[in-house]
Amino acid sequence: MNNSYPKSWSRIMTQTIAELNKKKNLTRLDLKRGALALVKGLNVRNKKINAESEANYIKAVWDNFQLYEMALSVIGMLTPKEVIETFPIYKRYDGHKYETKDYFSVQKSLAAYDLNQPINTVDDKAFEFLWDYDNDDLVEFAVDFMGAMSHINRLEKGKDLFSQFLEETQGIKSRVIEINGIEVITFDNDDELD
């Protein structure tokens, strides 16, 4: 990938946030521009959180999470029709064969929404909407957003979301070990740890 591409989207994201922050009233086009800039900008950022101290790490985790929350909030202000215009549905038609989402499953999930009403009108449905939607940029954003939530969960509960899920639903505990200077998460059944 060309090194200027990530820098460009990061710059566009920062400029768009600053520009829209100055406006008293946002137009529908402003919201679409904001959502596009935030999603593209967040997708090209380095996902690794580096900090020199624990306090800096905590601040960096929360700042990162708040950026994703802001982006999700802006996406929730869009209508499904505007999301489709800004982030077209990926034209994949064989989801039934591989049991994955595709154009047809997205169309089916869109039937649950009023295409002309903002996604978050009734409830905070933006993440659920993204989960069912198929666009490479939005899929990457949703996965990275879950990563940001996992960092928050690790701060609050001492384990990432996946480890917590496995422990609560399957009784499988995780632990961190170091192999050749790299921290690795391993998973064990309860019986093996006792």
User: How sure is the predictor about 48, in pLDDT bands with cuts at 50, 70 and 90?
Assistant: confident
> How far is residue 173's CA from residue 104's CA, in Å, rounded to a whole number?
38
Which residues have C-beta within 8 Å of that of residue 183, sequence separation ≥ 6? 176, 177
Token couple for 139: 């899929």
pLDDT at 158: 83
Question: Which residue segment(s) compose the domain that 169 sits in?
Answer: 159-194
The pLDDT tens digits of the residues spanning 141-181 come to: 999 999 999 999 988 988 888 888 888 888 888 877 888 87
The answer to whether 12 touches 62, Cβ cutoff 8 Å, is: no
> How far is residue 161's CA from residue 146's CA, in Å, rounded to a whole number?
8
| Domain shared by 73 and 150, yes or no | yes
pLDDT at 190: 53
State what percent of residues in the chain have pLDDT above 90.
Answer: 58
pLDDT at 75: 96
| Domain shared by 137 and 96, yes or no | yes
State what percent of residues in the chain have pLDDT above 70.
Answer: 95
Please, how many CA atoms are within 13 Å of residue 150, restricted to the half-sphere of its CB? 15
| Domain shared by 116 and 184, yes or no | no
| Domain shared by 154 and 118, yes or no | yes
The pLDDT tens digits of the residues spanning 51-92 come to: 788 898 899 999 999 999 999 999 999 999 999 999 999 998
Phi and psi at 156, nearest 5°, equal -80, -35
| Domain shared by 123 and 55, yes or no | yes
| Domain shared by 101 and 117, yes or no | yes
| Domain shared by 114 and 171, yes or no | no
Please, how many CA atoms are within 13 Å of residue 164, restricted to the half-sphere of its CB? 13
pTM above the 0.85 mark? no
Number of compact structural domains in the chain: 2
Q: Across all residues in the chain, what is the average pLDDT? A: 88
User: How sure is the predictor about 7, in pLDDT bands with cuts at 50, 70 and 90?
Assistant: confident
How far from the centroid of its chain's Cα atoms is residue 17's Cα? 18
